[in-house]
Structures are given as structure tokens and as C-alpha cells.
Amino acid sequence: MKIVFTTKGKTWESPIDARFGRAEMFLIYDEESDTLEAIDNSATESMEHGVGGVSSKRMINAGANVVITGNGAGEKALKILKTTGIAFFTGAGEMSVKEAYEAYKANKLQKQF
Amino acid sequence: MKITIASGKGGTGKTTVSSNLTSYLASLGKKVVLADLDVEEPNSALFLNAELVNSKVSNKMIPKWDATDCTLCGKCEEVCNFNAILHLPEEIRVFPELCHSCYACSELCPTNSLPMTPSPIGIINEYRNELFSMVEGRLDLGQEMSIPLIAQTIEYVDEKFPDYMKIYDAPPGTSCPVIESSRYSDFVILITEATPFGLNDLTLAVETMKVLNQKVGVIINRYGIGDDGVERYCQDENIPIITKIKNDKEVAKLYSNGELIYNKIEHFKDSLDDIIAFIGGLK
């Protein structure tokens, strides 16, 4: 399973970025190889429109199975990702990456789709 | 002649002045037409007791993906400046609401897989009362792009009323819709009120019109409230103050009831006379 966290940093201690489309960074945890990989997403900050699409494409290209975030996917991201089989979990906006992963494992996050 | 009535700040009296001015000019025998270009919330028709005489669907052109010959090369996404096209592993996704109809993706597609097709964004309504005609653009719910509809409303008025004087009632603010409503006009009248808020937004509007090389004049509405900041600013910037409309509760009452004002309140009519004299001097 590849689990993507929307984050403001590259480590297990980094805080979750509550936003999906304009998340500062995507941190990908590959459960099989037990490795973390970061994708910089900060360019979306200065984009006026369409970040939902851009970030969704990054999820598809990264081969994500699960996305863990704070507020959830917006309208455009929803349209794209609902058909891909990627699962979205929300409510981790105030957590660190580690806490968010534990909460996900303990079934304590809300499933958006 | 084409006159745009604009403002930086909202609620300063664009619709009040443009609807009354058009009606008054028409009553004096002038061939004049009013265009409501505030397509996100057109409301001039409310004041004019007018009958709908014609409606036309407004479209914008958007690319429609045809999978037949597409090689998924991704050129379309590359050339789109607005993130309106997404090149996914197995498909091309178009977001019509983000598309600026620039045709780049469609023209540059090696396999012609993105033909441009019309997509409705709103409606153009033409009204008529006993004195004059009025045309409004009305954007559909959920549409984000008002510019094509504003452009088409202006075009409709030009085609239907070629030798008429045109009064454009612009949306508030200083962004693209205001620019589209002002760029083809002969003159822009900015309505403000003499408050620090009014002055701040007037300054922004004047700067915008400078970029467009548009000549401007100012109307101070609700004169009597606020301070003399606007007047000093206009003096410093050499901007003519066309008229000052007195702050008057009766004007507000008539407006709230959806009634015209100039035929009931003398000082308001005097202000319209100032505007007409000023416009007459523009030629």
C-alpha cells in the first residue's frame, strides 16, 4: 500500500497540511519497502485555479492507494479521484504524520470516499 | 458614443445613475440603449418596467476530448495556462469552468483530438419599455467566466442598435469584468461616495482606467456625507467632477421600491442635466 500524507515537511514528525489541493508537500509512505518519499507541491500556492486537478494528477502518478489529509478533496479533485479507486481520509489536520498514520490504522479518521 | 458607468466600490449608484440617465435621455428624444454588463447580478431591468422582447443563449467555446486518435501525448496540458486540461494516464480531462477559450490545446493537438465545441454559459435578454431598449447579460449559475458573456452582450447591442448612444452599466471592482466593460468605450464615468472607502476604491479604479488609456470623470453620490478626500484627490489628479448627487433619503426610498428617480426629485434631475451637459461637451 502506498499512503500519501498532505504535509508541511518530510519526516514522521512533520505536521499534516490540512489542505489537499494546495498542500505544501506530499509525503508518500510505501508500506512494503517501509520508505518515505517527499513530493514538493508548493508551486500550487501561487496558482489561481485548478490546483485540485494538478494535485490529483500527482496522486495518480505517485501510485497512491490512500490519501490522508485534513479538510478533504475539493470539487474538482473529487471528480477525478472518485473514479480512480484512491481512498481519501480526512480529519488529520491537527496531527503529525506519525499520529495521522496511527489514527488511520486505528480507524479513527473519516473516509471521504 | 459609448459611455461606461463604473466604480471601484460596489453600491455607489451605477445602476441608479445608468437606468435614470438612459430613461431621461430617451424622454428627451435621444436614441439611447442601456446595457447591463453586471452579468453576475444584472438588475437594471427591475427599474424599467420593461417587457422581454428577445432572448439568446450565450455560448463559449471549449475543447471536447475525442479519444479516437488521441495518443495521450500530453501536449494539450502543457500549453494550457489555466489548468483546464488534465493529462491522466488513460484519458484527457477538460474542466470547462477553467477554460479561457484560447484554442491553444485544440490548435496544437497533433491528432485533432480536442475539437472546440459550444457550451452554454448564460443568456442575453433584450427588453423594451415605452421609451427605450435595454439589453442584459445573465450568467448561468455555477459559471465562473463572465468575460465572454460581457463581450457578447456588447456585440449584441452593437449589432442591434448600431447608431444609438450606448450606456454600459458595469460590474463593481477593478478586475477583468470591469476592464471588458470599459475598454471599448469612449468615456468612463466613475461613481463614488466621499468617504475613505469610496476614495480608496476610486483610486484603484482610476489606476485601472489609466492602464486602459481611458478618459474618466467622477460623479460623487450621496454628497454631504464623509469628507473632502475625494474632491482633493480629483483636483490633484486633474479629474473632472461631473456632478455631485445630494445625499437624500427620498432617493434611497424610490430606489428601494424599484422606481425611477429623476421624474420625482428635482435635484437628482439637475444632476442628470450636469451629466448630459458634460457628455455633450465630450464630442
pLDDT at B46: 85
| A50 contacts B93? CB cut-off 8 A | no
Confidence tier at A17 by pLDDT (50, 70, 90): very high
Which residue from B187, B146, B145 is spatially nearest to B166, judged by alpha carbons?
B187
- Chain B interface test: which of A57, A60, A75, A86 (most B C-beta within 10 Å): A57
pLDDT at B283: 61
Q: Percentage of chain A with pLDDT > 70?
A: 100
- Establish if A54 touches chain B: CB-CB under 8 angstroms: yes
Q: Which domain holds residue A11?
A: 2-111
Q: What ipTM was reported for this prediction?
A: 0.76
Q: Return mean pLDDT, chain A.
A: 94
What is the location of CATH 3.40.50.300 in chain B?
A: 2-51+122-282
Over range B211-222, report the average pLDDT: 96
Chain B residues 196-225 within an 8 A CB cutoff of chain A: none
Q: Is B274 exposed, middle or buried (0-12, 13-18, 19+ CB in 10 A)?
A: middle
CATH pick for B2-51+122-282 out of 3.50.50.60, 3.20.20.80, 3.40.50.300, 1.10.3720.10: 3.40.50.300
CA distance A43 to A24: 8
What is the location of CATH 3.30.70.20 in chain B?
A: 60-119
State the CATH number of the domain containing residue A44. 3.30.420.130
**Residues of B whose CB is below 8 A from A56:** 86
CB B4 within 8 A of CB B180: no
Q: How close A112 comes to chain B (CA, Å)?
A: 22
Instruction: List the single residue in B82, B86, B93 with the smallest CB-CB distance to A49.
Output: B82
Over range B149-154, report the average pLDDT: 97
Counted domains in chain A: 1
Say if strands B165-169 and B2-6 run parallel, antiparallel, or are unpaired. parallel
The larger pLDDT score, comparing residue B44 to residue B208, is at B208
pLDDT digits (tens, 9 = 90+) for B177-200: 999 999 999 999 999 999 999 999
- Chain A interface test: which of B78, B80, B81, B83 (most A C-beta within 10 Å): B83
CB B125 within 8 A of CB B52: yes
What stretch of H or E contains B106?
helix B104-108
**Residue A49 scores a pLDDT above 70:** yes
pLDDT at B163: 95
Structurally, at CATH architecture level, domain B60-119 sits in 2-Layer Sandwich (3.30)
Reported as half-sphere exposure (CB side, CA atoms, 13 A), residue A18 has a value of 5
Over range B249-265, report the average pLDDT: 93
Instruction: List the single residue in B83, B87, B88 with the smallest CB-CB distance to A50.
Output: B83
